Structure 1
């Protein structure tokens, strides 16, 4: 009987040890589980794309078990839809477009995205109204009857173009609208198929630099009184100056308006991961500065300027 009891005891001990080992393995596997973070950016000729690539590098090097990658997209509006559909985990967007999405207005009328949460605002995105000297166009008032690239259909740039033109009393009925990406608009200006292009991005923008390599670029100003009227109706805008020599042969400062670029996720991302992502980004700002000149404008101190939606709890914890 004692022998039987001993065998049973040993058997139970072995079963317990095996169960313990199995439990440990499961915990270890869970700890090592990779978090895939796909970052939606914008077109390759814009500012989001290089910044998104740099951010992916930062996360891969500094956040444990994260596999991050950046992908070229149609920018703000497309990015919010990708987030909503669970096709990406993080995105760069304009602050005005984020607001429209959360509130269900403008291009998100009837398509509200209440799950959208912010990590931080990053830098001003200037609405650059670009032509070449051979068109003879010098002001927004000159745009009537002209071929105007207003950005991709339904994009953040397109909303900016429409709102600025409206402030000058110009509607799409008064111009020949062309819905083009930054790269397509640049090609159109170079080929003479487009008269003016709206480009919403941090300057200098690759698409405009591309034009300047072959033609004398002319930036069209937004006068102070018109900027004031725009800001009164759409408070996300702010006055900015495109400084002299931002582009080749630019001889003077150009008054303009801007929105804010921001980094967003959804409420599906857990707070710890969001905190770690936010910390990694602000601990490695030098990498963002190296990716694009707007990187120098990204600081922890400026992270809440122009904040248009609620912060994700993980980001809010970092900024406390």
Structure 2
């Protein structure tokens, strides 16, 4: 082979390799994104798994991997730093984090933008039927599991019980939902706090082998001024029959679970993600994965959001005819 032909062949091979590697020509490189979800047995994990799977399948050149997480606060920090691209964060944690008011954390998390309201997350305070505990105030001196350290559940528990003057009077244990359900049955703890959409699998687990009781939380919250101190919380009723043996309505408090994205996520990707998940097919798929997703509706897309929307989300919801509040507009 002549030297000239050898050079031309080598140049051709290099050009072909460059064509494959270039995201702008030929075969486009996939965008690999991370979705920070939640602990095993929690509603966050169902949502993050489902959304990650569907977006990877339906959005060209995008692959979304699901990440296990302690929950809301850890997700906020991961998305803010760019360690994750998507996450689920409670509206309360978003608001407090943006203003540097998280518990023992004055950092302002301003790189996290809201995409959509997913569902209302009510607090469940579970005890055994034969525990003798009938009211929240009776948890003084008791062993209470509040969720994993860094989770939204633990943060909400601290806000609630601090407001009631109980936080420093309980023996708080930072363990996840599934472990807490087992520990409750084994009487290693006296109560478990779950902050998730209902019905929740860990409480179903606890009720399957034990007679449980859910304590109502609203009366004590009102007496302590909890809603005035935390305006992003609202009242909610967990209907009778939601859990085995709990044949009465339970009055509780709830936060809103918000799908978020880092401000570094491209506008087009955020827009395409919302367009797919909030299509008729996407909503039907989400509802088939978890009952909590039945609350997802286009008309409620920006419900409960008190922080700025991502540019892609603002564009999407405006096209759907929703009016954005001043707090949702990105300054």
Fold shared by both chains (TM-score > 0.5): yes
Q: Can you list the C-alpha shifts for 1:97-136, whole angstroms capped at 9, x where unaligned?
A: 1112211112373322211101011110011111111211
Distance 1:43 1:124, change over 3 A: same
Q: Which residue of 2 aligns with 1:177?
A: 172
Q: Deviations over 1:290-311 (max 9, x none)?
A: 1110110011111212102100
Alpha-carbon displacement from aligned partner over 1:200-223 (angstroms, at most 9, x marks no partner):
000111111111110012100013
Deviates more, 1:217-226 or 1:277-286: 217-226
Is the deviation greater in 153-162 or in 211-220?
A: 153-162
Q: Which residue of 1 aligns with 2:297?
A: 299
Structure 1 unaligned residues grouped into runs of 5+:
1-19
For 2:208 and 2:202, how far apart are their aligned partners in 1? Answer: 10
The whole-number CA distance in structure 1 between the counterparts of 2:216 and 2:61 is 47
Check the 8 A contact 1:37/1:88 in 2, yes or no. yes
Helix, strand or coil at the partner of 1:32: coil
Give the whole-Å Cα distance in 2 for the aligned partners of 1:193 and 1:23.
61
How big is the alpha-carbon RMSD for the aligned residues of Structure 1 and Structure 2? 2.3
Q: Which runs of 4+ in 1 moved over 3 A?
A: 20-31
Alpha-carbon distance change, 108 to 308 in structure 1, aligned in 2, over 3 angstroms: farther
Superposed displacement of residue 24, structure 1: 7.4
Once the two structures are overlaid, the 10-residue window that deviates more, 115-124 or 154-163, is 154-163
Cα distance change on mapping 1:212 and 1:230 into 2, 3 Å: same
Give the superposition deviation at 1:22: 9.8
- CA contact 1:222–1:255 (8 Å) conserved in 2: yes
**CA–CA distance in structure 2, aligned partners of residues 193 and 39 of structure 1:** 33
Deviations 1:203-262 (A, max 9, x none): 111111111110012100013462472111100100000001110111110000000001
Where does 1:56-95 land on structure 2 (aligned, <5 Å)?
A: 56-95=52-91
Match of 2:106 among 87, 110, 115: 110
CA contact (8 A) 1:39 1:88 kept: yes
Q: Describe the superposition over 1:178-214 as per-residue Cα deviations: whole angstroms up to 9, x where unpaired.
A: 1111122112101100001111000111111111110
> Residue 214 of structure 1: which of 195, 209, 212 is its match?
209
Cα displacement (A) at 1:84: 2.6
Asked if 1 retains the 8 angstrom alpha-carbon contact of 2:79 and 2:111, the reply is no
Tell me, which stretches of 5 or more residues in structure 2 are unaligned? 1-14, 319-331
**Further displaced range: 39-48 or 53-62:** 53-62
Rounded Cα–Cα distance in structure 2 between residues aligned with 1:185 and 1:43: 12
Q: Which has the larger radius of gyration?
A: 1
- Residues in 2 aligned to 1:127 and 1:227: alpha-carbon distance in whole angstroms: 15
Q: CA deviation at 1:27?
A: 6.1
Please state how far the C-alpha of 1:23 moved relative to its aligned partner.
9.3
**In the alignment, what sits opposite 1:237?**
233
> What SS does the aligned partner of 2:209 have?
coil
Question: Which of 197, 200, 213 in structure 1 is aligned with 2:195?
Answer: 200
* CA distance in 2 between partners of 1:31 and 1:91 (Å): 29
CA contact (8 A) 2:70 2:149 kept: no
Question: 1:146, 1:27 → 2: CA distance?
Answer: 58
* Contact 1:149–1:185 (CA under 8 A) maintained in structure 2: yes
User: Whole-Å Cα distance in 2 between the matches of residues 156 and 112 of structure 1?
Assistant: 17
Residues 41 and 70 in structure 1, CA contact (< 8 A), matched pair in contact too: yes
Deviates more, 1:86-95 or 1:108-117: 108-117
With the length of structure 1 as denominator, give the TM-score of the two structures.
0.88
